[in-house]
Amino acid sequence: MVLYRLPNHNDLLGRVIAFTLLALSCLIVDENLRPVTYAPKLPSEVLDFNGDYVLIAESSGYENYRHQKGGLKDENVIVFMYDDIAFDKNNFRPGVIINKPNGDDIYEGDYTGHHVNVNIFYAVILGNKSALTGGSGKVVDSGPNDHIFIYYTDHGGLGVLVMPNGEYVYANDLNNVLKKKHAAKAYKSMVFYHEACESGSIFEGLFPDNFEIYATTASNATEASYATYCPNGAPKVEYNTCLGDLYSISWLEDGDKHDLRKETLQKQYEVVQRRTEKGDGFSPLGSHVKQYGDKRLSNECLHSYMGTNPANDNDTSVEYASSPSTQMVVNQRDANLLHFWHKYYKAPAGSHEKLEAQKQLHEEISLRKHVDYSINHIGELLFGNGSSSKVLETVRPSGQPIVDDWNCFKILVSTYEKYCGSLSKYGTQYLRAIANLCNAGVTMEQMVTASTQTCS
C-alpha cells in the first residue's frame, strides 16, 4: 500500500493517497544476478512528496518473489509486510531486501507478521485507528479532496484475495469497505489496480459505477493471471524464481517510461491490455485485463494518482517491449512449481540443496493431488458421478457476482479447510466449485459430512 501526497497545485490535485498491496516472499538476493528489465520503483518515487507512502506486503514464500514491488522514500513509508524475507536462509545478503537484481535495500515494516491481516487492512483503508491491534498505528487519513490509488498484487481466487494470516479478503467485504469510504466522503476519486488470478471476480456484479472509483484487473473473473521474468531452465540463469507479474510489470514499466502528465489511465489500460493479453509478445500465454467502475475517470492523466518522473517530461514515445532474453511466462499457480523444479535442477547432484528441493517439489505435487481429489470427491458425494462436474464447473454470466449468499460461501470454504486442510494458492482455482455448492443449495451440514468422508 503506497500513500503519498502530490505537491498542491492550486488545490486542483489535492492530496494523492496510493496503496500498493503486495505479496513479498523469501527471496534469494544474489549480488551477481544479471540485470533484468524490471520497473524498480513507482514514478512518484523520484518526486519530492510531503505525504506518506504505505506498502502492504502480504504473502510469504520465496516462490512468490515476483509479487514484490516498492522502492519508496523511507521517510514517507508505512509498510505492511509478512517479514519472512530479510533473514531467510536463502537470502545471500542477510537483512537486505531488494525488488530488482542489484537493487537498493527496501527493508522496513510498520505492520509485520500476524499484523498483516484482513482486519488491520480494512482499518487502515478506513482510517480507523481504534480498530488497530498493533503495528505503528498509521492509517489512511483522507478527505474529500484526495485522490486515492490502490495497487494490490497477491495470490487470489474467485471472489477472494489471499492473506498470510487469518481469513481471506472476500470480494463483498472489500466492496463494502470501499462503499464506507465513499459514504464518509473520504476521497475525491479512487483508482484500483489489482493483480491476482480471477481478479475480475472481486468487482464483477458488485462494483458500483457511480462512486468515483475506477478499477483495472490483471484478468477477468474466469482465468488465471501470469508471472513473468521467470527462469527458463538455462544453467546461466542465476535466479530460480519469477521476478514479476505480467500485468504489474506492464503498468509499472509503462509508468517508469512515459510522461504521466500527458498519459491517461485509458491509454495505460490499452498498453497494459495488449502486452498482458499477448504474453508480452514472447508467449502464447496471457490474460484479459478488464475495467470496472466509473470509467469516466479513465480520461484523467496518471500523474493525479502516481505522480510523474521529471526525467520523462516531454517524452513522446508510445510503447516499448522487454528483451525476449528475459522472458518466460507461466500461470501464477504454477510459478512455485517452476521455482522448486528449477531449484532442484540447479542444485549439485547428491547435495543437501538437491534433496531439499526434491522434497519441496514432491510435497507441492502431493498437495495438488490432494486438493484435486478432495474437491472432486466432495462433488461426487453431493451430486453423484454424473452431475458433479456440471455443478462444480458452472460459470455464471458476465455481470453477475460469483455467489448469491456470501455468508454460505465463507462457511463452506472454512468447512473444507477445517476438515481437508488449506486450499493453498494452487487450490484457490476451486473456489468457483465451492461457490457453486452454495448456489446449488448445499448446507454446512452436508459439506461437513462430505468433507469428513473425503479427508478423514
Interval 39-80: pLDDT, tens = 333 433 333 333 334 455 454 544 443 443 333 444 445 666
6-20, 72-86, 305-319, 322-336 — which is least confidently predicted? Answer: 6-20
Catalytic residue among 26, 197, 230, 408: 197
In terms of residue numbers, what domain contains 251?
16-330
User: Is 380 a member of any domain?
Assistant: yes
Specify the pLDDT at position 122: 92
Specify the pLDDT at position 157: 94
With cell 470454504, the residue in question is 413
Q: Which of 183, 186, 182 minimizes the C-alpha distance to 212?
A: 182
Q: To which H or E segment does residue 304 belong?
A: helix 303-306
Last residue of a domain, one of 296, 330, 364: 330
User: Is 337 a member of any domain?
Assistant: no
Shared domain for 318 and 214, answered yes or no, is yes
Neighbours of 6 (CB within 10 A): 24
Shared domain for 163 and 201, answered yes or no, is yes
DSSP string computed for 68-128? ------GGGEEEEE---STT-TT-SSTT---SSTTPPP----SEEGGG-SHHHHHHHHHT-
Three-class SS of residue 291? strand
Specify the pLDDT at position 198: 96
Shared domain for 274 and 315, answered yes or no, is yes
Shared domain for 263 and 364, answered yes or no, is no
CATH of the domain at 192: 3.40.50.1460
Catalytic residue among 67, 115, 147, 155: 155
Specify the pLDDT at position 323: 43
User: Is 220 a member of any domain?
Assistant: yes
Shared domain for 218 and 363, answered yes or no, is no
Number of structural domains found in the chain: 2
What does the mean pLDDT of the chain come to?
A: 78
- CB-based contacts of 311, cutoff 8 Å, min separation 6: 46
114 is catalytic: no
420 is catalytic: no
Shared domain for 326 and 359, answered yes or no, is no
Shared domain for 237 and 109, answered yes or no, is yes
Last residue of a domain, one of 330, 355, 375: 330
Shared domain for 384 and 271, answered yes or no, is no
Per-residue pLDDT, averaged over 74-89, amounts to: 61
User: Is 10 a member of any domain?
Assistant: no
Whether the per-residue pLDDT at 180 is higher than 90: the answer is yes
Question: What span, in angstroms and rounded, lies between the C-alpha atoms of 343 and 70?
Answer: 26
* Greatest CA separation for the chain: 67
Last residue of a domain, one of 272, 297, 330: 330
Whether the per-residue pLDDT at 135 is higher than 90: the answer is no
Specify the pLDDT at position 433: 97
Between residues 329 and 56, which one has the greater pLDDT? Answer: 329
Question: What span, in angstroms and rounded, lies between the C-alpha atoms of 7 and 136?
Answer: 25
Shared domain for 91 and 228, answered yes or no, is yes
Report strand pairing: 290-293 vs 213-217: antiparallel
106-120, 253-267, 334-348, 363-377 — which is least confidently predicted? Answer: 106-120
User: Is 4 a member of any domain?
Assistant: no
Shared domain for 79 and 152, answered yes or no, is yes
Interval 244-271: pLDDT, tens = 889 988 898 888 888 888 999 999 999 9
User: Is 2 a member of any domain?
Assistant: no
Shared domain for 292 and 154, answered yes or no, is yes
User: Is 231 a member of any domain?
Assistant: yes
Q: Which of 106, 112, 108 minimizes the C-alpha distance to 135?
A: 112
Helix axes 335-346, 352-383, angle to 10 degrees: 150
pTM of the model: 0.83
- C-beta contacts of 118-121 below 8 A and 24+ residues apart: 118/163, 118/166, 118/167, 118/168, 118/169, 118/173, 119/166, 120/80, 121/21, 121/56, 121/80, 121/163, 121/169
Whether the per-residue pLDDT at 292 is higher than 60: the answer is yes
Whether the per-residue pLDDT at 28 is higher than 70: the answer is no
Report strand pairing: 147-153 vs 156-157: unpaired
With cell 516499448, the residue in question is 320
Shared domain for 293 and 360, answered yes or no, is no
User: Is 6 a member of any domain?
Assistant: no
CATH of the domain at 373: 1.10.132.130
Percent of the chain with pLDDT over 70: 72
Burial of residue 271 (number of CB atoms within 10 Å: 0-12, 13-18, 19+): buried
